[in-house]
Structure 1
Amino acid sequence: MLQRQSVNSRVGFFDSGIGGLVIAREFIKMCPAVDTLYIADWGFCPYGEKSETLVLERAHFLTKKLIDHGCTHVVVACNTATSVALESLRDTYDIAFTGVQPPVELAAAKSKSGVIGVVATPITLRGRLFQEAVARLDGKIDVHTAAGEGLVELVESGDFSSEKARLHIAKVINPIIAGGADHIVLGCTHYSFFAEMIQEMAGPAITVVDSASHVALQIAKAVCPG
């Protein structure tokens, strides 16, 4: 469990691009007095299409940069980087870390159909953290997965609402919907930019689960006084 830190703590966020800004924005609303830094690793975006070795190297490089700039709490604001690097970072640096994982168990607890869908990068979907989360469901919930390939690039290009984006998203989520899922979990921080569109396309019978606010609250509880 993370220890509560003083308001003078500096919190650093990193992601391959702008996806993690969704979490940073929510955190700043909760703790406006806390100094924050954000690194978008655009030269290596998207992480989901890189090797796990490279993602691990970038996570350590960016963490060192944030520590050098006075950060005492680092948020790995990327599901892929969390899956690959969070354990290694915690073993290496004597500071607090918060990672991001698809909220599978949250969606499973609220599911009435017994079927949920998860959209994430291939690295996240095959990673140990995600596989362990699914295993904890003990077969009581069917988990349908889809790789959201190409969605990060749409976000980074600023395309949040075009017909091209809608068609791309439809190809990703339609098999999940057809499989009977009543919850769709967004397993990449970039996908938060499409949350409203996905909810509209999925319809009122399906709930889109985005972890940004939940993760921001976790950080706030650890960092903000009171």
Structure 2
Amino acid sequence: MNLQPIGIFDSGVGGTSIWKELRRTLPDESMVYLADSANAPYGERSPHEILKLCIKNTELLLEKDCKLIVVACNTATTNAIAYLRDNYSLPFIGIEPAIKPAALNTSSGVIGVLATRGTLSSELFARTSGNFAAGIRVIEQFGDGLVPLIEAGKIHSEEMTILLHQYLDPMIEKGIDHLVLGCTHYPYLIDRMKSILPEDVKIIDSGQAVARQTKRVLEAQNALAPANDNQVSLKFYTNADKELLRSFLNDVNDPFEIIELDF
């Protein structure tokens, strides 16, 4: 089991932000990543559609003999992870908007959450917000259109600039001092956001926390890969243009393979 890979899936390329944190934290682990770009964005689909896609991705990662699956998508986590945990025997690590640290550290008492409709409308998000943000003003904003632009490689486009101002300017006016990113695609927009937000607004994403939790779960199950084993395999599967996925991995120095697959 120790040499089996970690599986990761997302509705496209966004989850590579999580993959990079996992790689930094767990350098001896093999990994299989599924980029379901053909069905992105999940956040605009119904809960039933999201669940079907998550089951499909899980089954494919099981075929790849994964020992643990990271659901590197906030929308998939909030809509499907309870079902996945109830119906499959391997561990699942999910991703939720990091409301807790924002609520604990806010000075203004106002925090912003930028996420997909699928995440913000979910029961899990409502529970998380209720548990950790009592007495805090939470400004929720749908990030409509951001994921398709990222998936199209248009991070620096004029369309992206317009949308980011449309979503962030009202939050700034309401006095947020923390911005929680509720989609794994959004870390690729951090530099763009910093050019808009006041310097004192802290941006929070979940990547490092997910990597630490993955390590804890593998340690608890005695399932960590042996150190310096030299058998690390890094594979990416995409059902869209693999060159787009490759463009999000330009800063990865380790050897990896990208495979186009119809799934």
TM-score (norm 2): 0.80
1:25-174 equivalences in 2 (<5 Å): 25-137=20-132, 139-174=134-169
Q: 1:218 to 1:137 in 2, by over 3 A?
A: closer
Closer, same or farther: CA 31–137 of 1 in aligned 2, 3 Å: closer
Q: Evaluate the alpha carbon distance shift between residue 20 and residue 138 of structure 1 in structure 2; reply closer, same or farther with a 3 A threshold.
A: closer
Contact 1:195–1:210 (8 Å) recurs in 2: no
For the aligned residue pairs, the C-alpha RMSD in angstroms reads 1.5
2:210 to 180, 197, 215: 215
Distance 1:139 1:214 in 2: 22
Distance 2:133 2:211 in 1: 28
Provide the rounded CA distance (Å) in 2 between the counterparts of 1:9 and 1:168: 41
CA apart distance, 1:80: 0.4
- Cα distance in 2 for residues equivalent to 1:67 and 1:108: 37
Partner of 1:201: helix, strand, or coil?
coil
Structure 2 distance, partners of 1:170, 1:157, is 19
Query: Partners in 2 of 1:135 and 1:49 — Cα distance?
Result: 23
Give 3-state SS (helix, strand or coil) of 2:132's partner.
coil
Q: Distance in 2 between matches of 1:135 and 1:207?
A: 21
SS in 2 for 1:175: helix
Matches of 1:200 and 1:186, distance apart in 2: 16
User: Cα deviations across residues 14-57 of structure 1 (Å, max 9, x unaligned)?
Assistant: 01100101101111122122110000112211101111101100
Offset, 1:222: 2.5
Give structure 2 stretches of 5+ with no counterpart.
219-223, 228-263
Describe the SS at the equivalent of 2:60: helix
Q: Does 1:206 align with 2:198?
A: no
- 1:171 Cα offset (Å): 0.4
Contact 2:34 2:57 in 1 (8 A): yes
| C-alpha displacement of 1:138 | 5.8
* Identity score, percent: 36
Question: Cα offset for 1:165?
Answer: 1.3
Deviation of the 1:206 alpha carbon: 0.7
Structure 1 residue 217, shift from structure 2 partner:
2.0
TM-score w.r.t. the length of structure 1 is 0.93
Greater helix proportion:
1
For the 8 Å contact 2:100–2:133, the answer to whether it is kept is no
Compare CA radii of gyration and give the structure with the larger one.
Answer: 2
1:3 is aligned to none
Whichever residue aligns with residue 117 of structure 2, its letter is P
Tell me the alpha carbon deviations over residues 172-195 of structure 1, each in whole angstroms, 9 at most, x when there is no partner.
111111111110100000111101
Equivalent pairs counted in the alignment come to 221
